[in-house]
Structure 1
Amino acid sequence: DEDPQSLQFTSENTKGPIKKTLKKIEERHASHELDKQTVVDHNSIRSFDIGKDKLSSVSKQERDKLESAWKEYLSSLNPETKKKDSFYSIKDVVKKNGSGIGSTGLKRYYILIEGQEGEVHHDDIILEAKEARSPIPAYFFPYDEQFWEDNKHQGRRVAHTQHAMHHQADPYLGYFRMDGHDFYVRERSPFSKDLREKNLDDYKKFTQTIKTMAQISAKIHARADADIENGIMDYHSEKAILKAIGSDQKLFRHQLGLWSRYYKETVENDFELFKEWLIEQDYFKS
């Protein structure tokens, strides 16, 4: 019932693992990501620290393709927050390997851009370009021609969604296409941090976390139509969600519980089959 634009979750009004994570973030400096991912040589030139945090170099051909696609990225930026083109000049590019769960196998790049000129490298900014594909659930819903027509560019779809759900969207949020693959771009924020599994070690902490995450999810869905007059979305998302749930919320919770247990069993069975396949392939011996 609260205004989704003013409702915030901070270390003051949260509990348990989320409170602990937010406190850690508050201690960080704006240069955290730069210090973690880059080095400065004796000529005061900053570049990515190859080999660190699963970073690897790109070929000249790949770099050239990215430079060409960068024009589309610049044209996709929000004109109200966009700076002059030189601000986004590419200084270095690397591949990011072996991270993510749902994004396993997708292309991902870290891109170091110039930023504000004249401030001796502390202005450098790290962007992440991540390949975007059609959302898997879309294949399991009834076919909607309008959805596929509106979302021919999957990078645009992701950027469009994030603009809708964030009160203050990332000013670097944009998209481009390269080699037939769609990408969306965002800043590698120094104030991003995962919850640690070791902090979810008892039932109370786990339920505290689930409750807060559910409230955050509700906030961003409510936020998604807060500026409905601007045309980002033309319907109220929370009303659409409630309509899909139906009038019997108890039955919905029961259905969700059944689905969750089935999903858990499927994942465990898939993992056992995967291990059997590895043994058959003599993977462990090689």
Structure 2
Amino acid sequence: MSYAGAVFLQHVFYLKNTIQPQGCYMSRRPSVIPGFGLSLGCAAFYASLIVFIPLAVLFAKAFTLTWAEFWKTVLDPQAIASYRLSLGAAFVGALINLCFGFVVAWVLVRYQFFGKRIIDALVDLPFALPTAVAGIALTALYAPQGWIGQWLTPLGIKVAYTPLGVIVALTFIGLPFVVRTVQPVLEELEKEIEEAAASLGANRWHTFRRILFPALLPALLTGFALSFARAVGEYGSVIFIAGNMPFRTEITPLLIVTKLEQYNYAGAAALAVVLLVFSFILLLLINLLQHWSAKRAGG
């Protein structure tokens, strides 16, 4: 076939896929990846198999209990104490990561210094480190006779086997989520915008508040949400440093594991549902804040 004939057939194929029989252009452009229906079906099937079906089974298992049994399980004083510790420590740890994660991301993006690549790689260490190893390492550091704990104990600061130790563990495992979420956004921000603001008389605080912070807010909220969600479900690194004392340092995931060891699967599922609902509500609020901030920035 000649080149002109090939070009003609290509144009015919294009018109066939973009023009309706009535001569009107279709509102949807042809997809780059063929088989949209098949791709959507595979994606929905995979998401259902991995996420939706397990969550549905979790709710179904929890509600094999009667309403009286369900509320008795989830409102047990020991369970409420574990909610308070798990959610409170996760929230505090996520707030700490929100502040210091932003600082770490800022330093890694805006400054050049010796050992930068090593520090950048160490940020991802909590991702790769087994949680049990992290728990043992933190306990060795912050125990009363540990490398750091031996200096804190004379000051009256006890970290290991206290709620403070739980916060330290959850902060450790949640830091990469904030750094890796904020870092790409910082890299895309052009320094010329800050220089233009400075040339117009804006000081550093006004430049950050009016230019940088609105652009970084969605990424900061996303990092906070990911860090919080990761901390709520953390188990391995916490049980070593917490001491696991009921009503003091017992987290909800440990209480769930305890009920599983007692073959109380419905009770464990009920506690898991409570954590899931709390996490979903927080993530929903953060998504609403992200939508509001993006809409405000666009408007």
Q: TM-score normalised by the shorter chain: which range applies? A: under 0.3
The structure with more helix, counted as a fraction of residues: 2
Relative contact order higher in (CA < 8 Å, ≥ 6 apart): 2
TM-score (norm 1): 0.21
